[in-house]
């Protein structure tokens, strides 16, 4: 079907129905191809720290897109897998900002995890990454393939960014994601959808801290009340830090890992804690960080001192009016397709947090629906893979018409 975008703008509604039908027919005719591709991706292990495995997933994706008129840029990495950027022909028009699609190639499962199979049973598909997020990659890629079947890649600028390190906080990719986002019209991220059809319009921000306390070592038998115990000082700080939790603001503070000392008969010279914080707004995150810093600097146990470091950070993805506008448009598309979706504020972070900080509209959770990700019980509801792919393809097409005016 040779339909110019200019014609689509001229006759809204009529040709849109034709495009929806063509996209739907393509996906119906290629439904088994979606699951063939999913199986291939899932059976290729891609633990974040296994560069060769993640790069192998990149090669599979490159091969799948080879027949499409997409340019490919490889952002090579030393220890992590390479990041890949694919762009449609319309991206050559410097006057057009592209729609950005983002998905990560890595999983949390090490090679020796034992969770390395792909199984279809009843209405479910099980395997490492089926929803987090190899299923999301299939959704994005086949949405692009469906648009290509309608000859729309010449008219709609699309950037697909596949990164390799999301599961460890995107340390080598977040700068690239932010840079691409700043040049984009809007963004869609393909983490899994919620069991109730949820699409993510907001995510809490996250900051991780490492708190180290140093005291003075000594023999426990000869210590007194004034012993410079690093563990004692750390314990006091942990109690105060946990008091920062604020349910009314949905502020979460958790001390999750504690280490210290070398034996029961020694006054501990060193102690440390790993702290995780989640917050709705950047202001709340900054206030929380300031309080943790204050508590870290206040040492009451004699001859102890502490240092605080930020170990990881992602900005909050606030439920902005821009995100709501984008979601409401996707909701209209979903209603036309008889697909149930609803909006969600999700506590976990993703690359959508980084994109939101770039100031463009972004929604997440557009991948297929399932549950138990990050465990060997991870599964996808089969019918949601073609369903979410249909929504993504039509959503891209419709959003381009709406937001490019």
Tens-place pLDDT, residues 83-110:
999 999 999 988 899 999 999 999 999 9
Q: State yes or no: pLDDT of 8 exceeds 80.
A: no
Q: State yes or no: pLDDT of 321 exceeds 70.
A: yes
CB atoms within 10 A of CB 100: 25
pLDDT per position as a tens digit, 232-276:
999 999 999 999 999 999 999 999 999 999 999 999 999 999 999
In the prediction, which pLDDT does 106 show? 98
Among 312, 339, 368, residue at a domain's last position: 312
CA–CA distance, 167 with 252 (Å, rounded to integer) = 20
Give the predicted TM-score (pTM) of the model: 0.89
**How many domains does the structure of the chain reveal?**
2
- How much of the chain is helix, strand and coil, in % rounded to 5? 40, 25, 35
- We report the CATH number of the domain holding residue 371 as 3.40.630.10
In the prediction, which pLDDT does 176 show? 98
Backbone angles phi, psi at 203, to 5 degrees: -140, 145
- Whether 145 and 292 share a structural domain: no
Q: State yes or no: pLDDT of 350 exceeds 70.
A: yes
- Whether 54 and 150 share a structural domain: yes
Q: What is the mean pLDDT of residues 168-191?
A: 97
Mean pLDDT of the chain, nearest integer = 94
- Whether 223 and 298 share a structural domain: yes
- Whether 85 and 102 share a structural domain: yes
Region of poorest pLDDT, from 11-20, 150-159, 187-196, 337-346: 11-20
In the prediction, which pLDDT does 230 show? 98
In the prediction, which pLDDT does 297 show? 97
The residue assigned the tokens 């349910």 is: 247
Q: What is the mean pLDDT of residues 165-172?
A: 96
Backbone angles phi, psi at 133, to 5 degrees: -135, 45
Q: What is the mean pLDDT of residues 183-201?
A: 98
In the prediction, which pLDDT does 301 show? 96
- Whether 85 and 137 share a structural domain: yes
The residue assigned the tokens 């003075």 is: 216
Q: What is the mean pLDDT of residues 8-20?
A: 54
- Whether 191 and 155 share a structural domain: yes
In the prediction, which pLDDT does 20 show? 81
Among 265, 293, 312, residue at a domain's last position: 312
Q: What is the mean pLDDT of residues 5-27?
A: 64
Domain housing 141:
5-203+317-403
Bridge partners of 126?
Answer: 119, 379
pLDDT band at 327 (very low <50, low <70, confident <90, very high): very high
- Whether 211 and 192 share a structural domain: no
Backbone angles phi, psi at 119, to 5 degrees: -135, 130
For 95, counting Cβ atoms within 10 Å of its Cβ (0-12 exposed, 13-18 middle, 19+ buried), the class is exposed
In the prediction, which pLDDT does 59 show? 98
- Whether 180 and 233 share a structural domain: no
- We report the CATH number of the domain holding residue 278 as 3.30.70.360
- Whether 16 and 142 share a structural domain: yes
CA–CA distance, 325 with 327 (Å, rounded to integer) = 5
Least Cα distance to 197 among 381, 8, 397 occurs for 381
CA–CA distance, 204 with 318 (Å, rounded to integer) = 7
The residue assigned the tokens 């939790």 is: 245
pLDDT band at 13 (very low <50, low <70, confident <90, very high): very low
Q: State yes or no: pLDDT of 10 exceeds 80.
A: no
C-alpha pair distances (Å), 55 with each of 12, 48, 74, 167:
42, 10, 10, 15
Q: 150: which 2 tokens? A: 């309608």
Bridge partners of 45?
Answer: none
């Amino acid at each position: 079907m040779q339909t110019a975008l200019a014609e689509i703008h001229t006759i809204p509604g009529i040709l849109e129905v034709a495009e929806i039908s063509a996209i739907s027919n393509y996906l119906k005719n290629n439904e088994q191809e979606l699951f063939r591709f999913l199986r291939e991706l899932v059976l290729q292990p891609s633990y974040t720290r296994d560069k060769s495995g993640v790069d192998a997933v990149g090669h599979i994706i490159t091969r799948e897109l080879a027949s499409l008129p997409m340019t490919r840029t490889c952002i090579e990495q030393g220890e992590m897998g390479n990041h890949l950027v694919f762009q449609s022909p319309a991206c050559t028009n410097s006057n057009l900002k592209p729609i950005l699609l983002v998905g990560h190639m890595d999983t949390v499962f090490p090679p020796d995890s034992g969770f390395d199979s792909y199984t279809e049973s009843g209405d479910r598909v099980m395997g490492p990454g089926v929803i987090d997020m190899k299923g999301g990659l299939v959704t994005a890629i086949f949405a692009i393939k469906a648009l290509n079947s309608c000859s729309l890649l010449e008219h709609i600028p699309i950037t697909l960014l596949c990164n390799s390190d999301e599961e460890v906080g995107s340390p080598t990719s977040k700068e690239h994601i932010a840079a691409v986002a700043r040049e984009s019209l809007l963004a869609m991220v393909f983490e899994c959808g919620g069991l109730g059809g949820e699409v993510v319009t907001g995510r809490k921000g996250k900051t991780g801290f490492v708190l180290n306390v140093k005291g003075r070592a000594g023999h426990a038998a000869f210590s007194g009340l004034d012993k410079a115990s690093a563990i004692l000082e750390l314990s006091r700080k942990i109690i105060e830090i946990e008091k920062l939790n604020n349910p009314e603001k949905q502020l979460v503070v958790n001390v999750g890992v504690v280490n210290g000392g070398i034996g029961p008969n020694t006054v501990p010279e060193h102690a440390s804690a790993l702290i995780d914080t989640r917050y709705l707004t950047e202001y709340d995150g900054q206030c929380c960080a300031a309080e943790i810093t204050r508590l870290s600097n206040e040492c009451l146990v004699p001859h102890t001192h502490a240092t605080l470091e930020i170990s990881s950070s992602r900005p909050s993805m606030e439920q902005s009016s821009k995100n709501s506008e984008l979601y409401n448009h996707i909701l209209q598309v979903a209603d036309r397709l008889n697909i149930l979706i609803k909006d969600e504020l999700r506590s976990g972070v993703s690359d959508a947090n980084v994109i939101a900080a770039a100031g463009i509209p972004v929604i997440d959770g557009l991948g297929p629906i399932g549950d138990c990700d990050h465990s060997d019980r991870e599964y996808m509801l089969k019918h949601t893979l073609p369903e979410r792919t249909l929504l993504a393809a039509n959503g891209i097409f419709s959003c381009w018409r709406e937001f490019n005016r």
